[in-house]
Amino acid sequence: MQPTATVFNIQRFCVSDGPGIRTTVFLKGCMLNCLWCHNPESKSPAPVLSLAKQLCTGCGECIRVCRCHSFADGMHVINRSACTACGECTQVCGGALEILGREMTAEEVLAEVMRDEPFYRSSGGGLTVSGGDPLYHPAFTLQLLQLAKENGLHTCIETSGFTRWEQLEAIIPYTDLFLWDVKETHSALHRQFTGVDNALILDNLRRLDGLGAQTVLRCPLIPGFNDRTEHLHAIAALANTLNHVQRIDVEPYHPLGMGKSEAIGQAYPLAGVNMPGNTTVDAWISEITAHTSIPVQKA
């Protein structure tokens, strides 16, 4: 049987998920639970109903279709515990309701990715598998990367690295570049911010580097959480211990996850945290750059 994964977005013409023009495939399912997750809809592997309240006209058609919908004090309420994400209500809605997540095989995904093959060839781009975490679906991801390489595509994977080494090792021959998250260098804080310890992640990164795999370290920086000077220095120190880091990307906090959380009926833990300004981001980059010769840039 073909392995499948729950795909919640296939985004074409991406220019910041690896070199050139790329198609980024977002899978649902993640081993972590980051406070600042910008794709909260990707944490669970199951499809989920999303309600864009700003698009709801209050027509009431969804209430006619399913008892999970109701209005209370002018507010549209969804009984999430009873919703099976069957999608029937989306059929009668003008665009406010949407099911996020569709089970697909790697061959189905690749067929969509190959639509933009000429752009990959002219720009040096290709396929990026993201999430969630692609390694939540190791068999699917392995097959997708294998198919992409068979078709001559450049391949990237974006991962937290929190996975069994064997799963990571299996995809190395089919992955040209690992976009590797460095969320927090302090072990206890990593657990506090993401729900898991970083020991396995760091061990996997060192083993990966030892085998010559190319990486870009991607560092989300969240004001008041992990923008400490010692963390910035530790990012540089970590990169300096590795031999195949092409670049360090600083990913300044943005509150994109807030609206997405609301749309799927989840609380957003970082409400009230502001986006850092350019001066702050430049200072972060300077602080890292001062301690490494590896290029550092804003993602």
Instruction: Specify the stretch interacting with ligand SF4 by CB under 6 A; choose among 3-11, 89-97, 206-214, 260-268.
Output: 89-97
Q: Least separation, in Å, of the C-beta of 55 and ligand SF4?
A: 7
Instruction: Specify the stretch interacting with ligand SF4 by CB under 6 A; choose among 62-70, 120-128, 145-153, 240-248.
Output: 62-70
In the three-class reduction of DSSP (H, G, I as helix; E, B as strand; rest coil), residue 151 is classed as coil
Among 65, 139, 196, 242, binds ligand SF4 (CB under 6 A): 65
- CA–CA gap between residue 197 and residue 189 (Å, rounded): 9
Instruction: Specify the stretch interacting with ligand SF4 by CB under 6 A; choose among 20-28, 31-39, 107-115, 202-210.
Output: 31-39
Among 92, 172, 202, 264, binds ligand SF4 (CB under 6 A): 92
DSSP code at position 135: G
Asked if 267 and 261 touch (Cβ cutoff 8 Å), the reply is yes
- CA–CA gap between residue 30 and residue 40 (Å, rounded): 10
Segment (H or E) for 127? strand 126-130
Segment (H or E) for 189? helix 187-194
Binding mask 185-224 for ligand SF4 (x = CB under 6 A): ----------------------------------------
Instruction: Specify the stretch interacting with ligand SF4 by CB under 6 A; choose among 57-65, 116-124, 231-239, 260-268.
Output: 57-65
Residue of 155, 170, 154 whose CA lies nearest to 211: 170
Kindly compute the dihedral angle of the four CA atoms of residues 197, 200, 203, 207, in this order, to the nearest 10 degrees.
-150
Q: Least separation, in Å, of the C-beta of 188 and ligand SF4?
A: 17
Residue of 230, 275, 195 whose CA lies nearest to 35: 195
Site for ligand SF4, rule CB under 6 A: 30, 32-34, 37, 39, 42-43, 49, 56-62, 65-66, 68-69, 83-89, 92-94, 96-97, 131-133, 160
